[in-house]
Structure 1
Amino acid sequence: MDHWNWETERLVLLTPRVLLVCHYDFVGLYCHLMLRIPLHYIDSITVGHFQFPATSLSRRSGLGLWVQWDKLRRPSFRSWWNPWSRDLPFVILTEHPGAEREHELSSLCKLHRFRTELTCLVQIAQRDQPLPGRANGPLLLEKPLQMETTLGFVSALNN
C-alpha cells in the first residue's frame, strides 16, 4: 500500500542482497513498477497497527510493515501530497487478505515471518557492506503506523 492508503497487490521478493517490490498486473501479464532496494540501504523496519487521524474517512485494520531506506532525505511537499508519487524512500507492506484462506500460500504471506527474515538479511548485508555514516544495523520499531490520509477518495475508490 502507499502513503495514501491505496492498496495494490505486489510481489515482494527477498534475496540475500536486495528487496524487490513488483507491482505486477496478473490480468495484463506485465510489470507496472519495480522497486529494487539494496538491503544495506534499509534504515528502519517498523511493524504496528495502522493509525489514522480522528477525522479521517479512510480506515483500515491489521498490521503493517514500514520499510524505510534513506531516512535522511525528506520527501518533498509535492511528492508527499501526490497520491501517485513513486519518489518516496519507503514501502508499506501488509498481509494479503487471502493469506488465511489459501493454506498452500499462507506460509509465504505471513508478515511476522517476512519481518524476521528481512531483519536478519538486512543485518547481514549491513555487516558485509557498511555504508559510511550509518549506524550498525537497522532501527527496529514496534509502534502504530501513522497514516496521514484524511479524505482518501482515490484510495477508497481503488480499494
Structure 2
Amino acid sequence: MGDLLEEDLEFRGGTLQLSAENVQIGNVDRSDNTIRLPQINPSVLSGADSLSSSGSFADARTDGQPNNTTNTEEGAHTVYPRYDVPFDKENIKDFFTFRKGVVENAIQDCITALLFPEDGEYLGSWLLTEITLWDNEKERIVLLTSRLVMTIKYDFIAMKQLDFKKTYLDDLDTIVIGELVYPPSSLVPERNLRGVRLMWNKGEALPLKTVWNPFSQDVPFLTFASHPIYWHKDGGVEERATFDMEIFAQKLQRAIECMPASACCIHHSPIVIQSYLGITSLLHNKTSMGFFKVRGKFSF
C-alpha cells in the first residue's frame, strides 16, 4: 500500500507542476514520464504534499476534453484530471437554476441587498457547489470582493435569501486548488472533480467537537466545486463562467495577490475530504437534496 501511495503522489506531483510556475522541481525521469518532488511540508486538510504558488493560476482542464493528454514543447507528459459529468441532460432540467434568468436575478438581488461600500470592490459572482465537512453538496451563490467572500444560501423557488456568511480575505491563511480526493482507507467512490478550499485554521487540526458535529458552524474552511449546470449549459464560455469553480479560483487568487502584506499561501495539491464510509452523504448527494429542484409533484 505504501508503494502505491508513493506512486500516486508522484503522479499528482507531475500533474501539479504546471500549476505552480515558481516551484523548484526535483529530478525528471523521462523513461516513465514521472516528476519526483522534493520534501514539502504537508498542509492540514489538503493533500499529503502541496505546491505553493504566488504566480499565475493554471487551469488544468481542456474545454470539452477532460481526459485529454498532451505534450509540451519540452516533451513533458501532462495528464489532466478526469471529470465525471454529474446528472444527465433531462435530470438537470429539474433544477430551478437551469431556468433562464433565475440565477442572474438571484445574484443581482443578493448584490443589491447584501453588498455595501465597506465590503470592498465587487469582483465577481458565481453559483457553485459547496462541499461541507461531512461531504454534503449544497447549492450556493458566491460573491467575491476585494475584501471578502460571501456565501449565500438562496431559495430559488421563492426567490429570496435564506442565510449568508462573510469570510474576510484577511483571515485566510491557506488556499488549496486541486482534485477532490478521499483518504486511502475511505470506501467512498472517487469524485473525479476539482475544487478550491479556503482555510483559516492556521494549520491546526479540527477539534473533535467540530469533527463529530454535522451542525457545527465553526468549521474553519470552505470548499467549492463547479455547479452541475456547468457541464450542461449550451452557451459559450462566458455563459458557463457563472458556474465555473476554476474562474472563481483564478479571481480569488488575484484578489489575494493584490492585498498588501497578505500572509495567505496558495497551494496546488489534492484536497482531502475526510469521509470514510459516507452512506449519508452519498444518499444526500445522489438525490441532490442540497439543490432546489422539481421532485415529482413537489418542489424543494
CA change 1:58–1:31 in 2 (3 A) is: farther
Alignment match, 1:151: 277
Map of 1:138 onto structure 2: 264
**Distance (whole Å) between structure 2 residues aligned to residue 66 and residue 4 of structure 1:** 14
Q: CA deviation at 1:32?
A: 4.0
Instruction: Give the number of equivalent residue pairs.
Output: 151
Q: SS where residue 280 of structure 2 aligns?
A: helix
Aligned-pair identity in percent equals 27
Does residue 124 (structure 1) correspond to residue 258 (structure 2)? The answer is: yes
Contact 1:5 1:58 in 2 (8 A): no
Normalising by structure 1, we get a TM-score of 0.83
Deviations 1:73-99 (A, max 9, x none): 643211112223221111000001111
Q: Provide, for residues 101-141 of structure 1, a one-character-per-residue CA deviation record: whole Å limited to 9, x for no partner.
A: 2226312222222111101112323x1xx5xxxxx442111
Quickly say closer, same or farther: Cα 1:70–1:147, change in 2 above 3 A.
closer
Write out aligned runs for 1:7-156 (5 A). 7-59=137-189, 60-71=191-202, 74-102=205-233, 103=235, 105-125=239-259, 127=260, 136-156=262-282
Q: Are 2:175 and 2:198, in contact at CA under 8 Å, matched by a contact in 1?
A: yes
Bigger radius of gyration, 1 or 2? Answer: 2
Deviation at 1:70, TM superposition (A): 4.0
Bigger fraction of residues in helix = 2
**Change in CA separation of 1:54 and 1:7 when aligned onto 2, cut-off 3 Å:** same
Unaligned stretches of 5+ in structure 1?
131-135
Query: Could you tell me how far apart the structure 2 residues matched to 1:58 and 1:23 are?
Result: 26
| Deviation of the 1:51 alpha carbon | 1.4
Tell me, in whole angstroms, the C-alpha distance in 2 between the residues paired with 1:33 and 1:85.
15
Letter in 1 for 2:170: H
Distance in 1 (CA, whole Å) between partners of 2:218 and 2:176 is 20
RMSD: 2.0
2:150 touches 2:164 (CA, 8 Å); kept in 1?
A: yes
**SS of the residue aligned with 1:47?**
strand
Decide whether the 8 Å contact of 1:99 with 1:105 is kept in 2: no
Gaps of 5+ in 2: 1-130, 286-300
Matched residue type, 1:75: L
Counterparts of 1:61 and 1:7, CA distance in 2: 15
User: How big is the shift at 1:27?
Assistant: 2.6
Structure 1's consecutive aligned runs of 4 or more residues displaced over 4 angstroms after TM superposition are none
Which sits farther off after the overlay, 115-124 or 48-57? Answer: 48-57
Which residue is 2:29 aligned to?
Answer: none
The TM-score, its normalising length taken from structure 2, stands at 0.46
